[in-house]
Amino acid sequence: MNVQPAQDLPEFGTWLNAAPSTLMEHRGRPVVLAFVNAASAWCAQRLAELALWQARNPGKLQLVIVQVPRFDFERQPQQALKLLRRAGATAPILLDADWQTWRRFKVEAWPTLVLIDAQGRERDRLVGLGGELDRALHGLCDGLSAPLEDDIRGGAEMNAEPRLPLRFPTGLAATADRLYVSDTGHHRVLECTHGGRILRQFGLGTADMVNGSASEATFNRPRGLALGRDVLYVADTGNHALRRINLLSGQVDTLCGTGRPGAPVEGQLSQPWDSPLHYPLGVAVAENQLLVAMAGDNRIWSYDLGNHRLSWRAGAGGIEVRDGSGHLAAFAQPSAVVAVQQVLYVCDALGSAVRSMQLRGDLVQTLLGQGPWEFGNHDGPRSQALLQFPQAIAHSADAPVLWIADAGNGLLRTLRLGGGELSTVQLPRRLHSPAGLAVAAGKVFIAETDGHAVLCYDPNSGELGEVPIEE
């Protein structure tokens, strides 16, 4: 076991949601430094595991999140804080904008947990996902006295998010007269009119995984939505599951997933829990199949709605932007998908890319994007155009155009299919991390995630307005 005095945190660091502190101030209590990247699904999963352990063991240790940016926009304190709060993070967050803390602790990968005992000595490190997290954390706390009441209560966050009807909305779906919203932070799915009046709420609003009627069922940070005939499919991200809402009866059930992350199992499933899933973010319907963007394993999967067969369609598993057929291709955290005829278009978040996959043959090609570390804000030919952390795509039924939510740049972009160039839509203002799109009735609906709002853009008039979501 590596036991040595730990370095301390930078004296003049940027704290996002708490008063500045040092490791010296926490002597007498174990500390876990979680080096994460807010844009990473793997890091979000590790933070969720830590939060679950802390809920079961309140006050036993102090968690400090060290946010180390991959993208330029993550160096902005407010945007970094919002991105972590989307994942449910409430622990003190230190923004390591220049990677100083990363280098001081000799960290080499996201996520890395540095475990520091009550005497201020580094006891262990957990790199990546997996590992015996429970055993390591319990070992860190063994032999210590019961936590104080103040430690159990924890400190209140500074500059808390406002209480609004929506909290970090993401996935959207729309028909000619209905708008469906994944109210991710409130763990529910809403059915609204285009004017914003809530008609139905699916889910109690508590983070759990329960099937049943609209008023009995529960979700956990639902994200992507896709409409089928009288059915709404949900990528229930926090539950690592695919869920289905019967829009006629309001009944919610589970198609696939166990409620916990794991390596999906190919084959015909006799029961939904026969295979785990790993951080599904986006979902689309094509030819009686659900196409799933699985961010946790960087692959595209399909679920056959007829025979309940789960199939690994494309992606090798590593974070990479590589073209090829099926398993020879590679994705970098696919976050959204849309099916257009015989093509699936994929929004590759960490690759700052838009990819295409032929539904017959599973050939993957890159439409936009230069690689996992190449990003920016440039319109023009596909070979030169750049995005930054795109989060959603949608298709215009009346035109060969893809709409792209360029979250890192706060922009709405368009790409004309068939060889067209990337263009920026001239909106009245910059968007606050858009992460959901839907096109219906000649309008583009935008989930302005960090603004806790849904917007409506009229391409004909150029008007942009908020959809007032309310009961």
CATH number at residue 311: 2.120.10.30
Are 178 and 139 contained in the same domain? Answer: no
Q: Is residue 97 part of a domain?
A: yes
Are 364 and 227 contained in the same domain? Answer: yes
Are 144 and 196 contained in the same domain? Answer: no
Q: Is residue 125 part of a domain?
A: yes
Summarised one tens digit per residue, pLDDT across range 442-456 is 999 999 999 999 999
The residue among 122, 153, 184 that closes a domain is 153
Distance CA 8, CA 156 (A): 23
- 304 forms beta bridges with 289
Summarised one tens digit per residue, pLDDT across range 91-146 is 999 999 999 999 999 999 999 999 999 999 999 999 999 889 999 999 999 988 77
Q: Is residue 162 part of a domain?
A: no
Summarised one tens digit per residue, pLDDT across range 323-335 is 999 999 999 999 9
Are 106 and 216 contained in the same domain? Answer: no
Q: Is residue 167 part of a domain?
A: no
Q: Is residue 320 part of a domain?
A: yes
Summarised one tens digit per residue, pLDDT across range 76-91 is 999 999 999 999 999 9
- At residue 419, does pLDDT exceed 90? no
**pLDDT (0 to 100) of residue 204:** 96
Q: Is residue 236 part of a domain?
A: yes
Are 330 and 218 contained in the same domain? Answer: yes
Are 148 and 31 contained in the same domain? Answer: yes
The residue among 123, 153, 183 that closes a domain is 153
Summarised one tens digit per residue, pLDDT across range 2-18 is 566 778 898 888 999 99
Distance CA 61, CA 109 (A): 23
The CATH number linked to 122 is: 3.40.30.10
Residue 8: give the domain boundaries: 4-153
Are 135 and 256 contained in the same domain? Answer: no
- At residue 1, does pLDDT exceed 50? no
Are 95 and 224 contained in the same domain? Answer: no
- At residue 254, does pLDDT exceed 60? yes
**pLDDT (0 to 100) of residue 3:** 65
Distance CA 177, CA 81 (A): 35
What mean pLDDT do residues 191-215 have? 97
Q: What percent of the chain has pLDDT over 90?
A: 89
**pLDDT (0 to 100) of residue 51:** 94
Summarised one tens digit per residue, pLDDT across range 363-407 is 999 999 988 899 999 999 999 999 999 999 999 888 899 999 999
- Range of weakest confidence among 99-113, 146-160, 284-298, 330-344: 146-160
Q: Which residue is associated with the tokens 């309008």?
A: 443
Are 216 and 140 contained in the same domain? Answer: no
**pLDDT (0 to 100) of residue 363:** 98
Are 198 and 93 contained in the same domain? Answer: no
Number of structural domains found in the chain = 2
The residue among 119, 153, 187 that closes a domain is 153
Here the tokens at position 195 are 């004017």
Are 143 and 193 contained in the same domain? Answer: no
Q: Is residue 166 part of a domain?
A: no
What mean pLDDT do residues 176-203 have? 97
- At residue 265, does pLDDT exceed 70? yes
**pLDDT (0 to 100) of residue 463:** 97
Are 104 and 212 contained in the same domain? Answer: no
Handedness of CA 411, 416, 417, 420 (dihedral sign): negative
Q: Is residue 165 part of a domain?
A: no
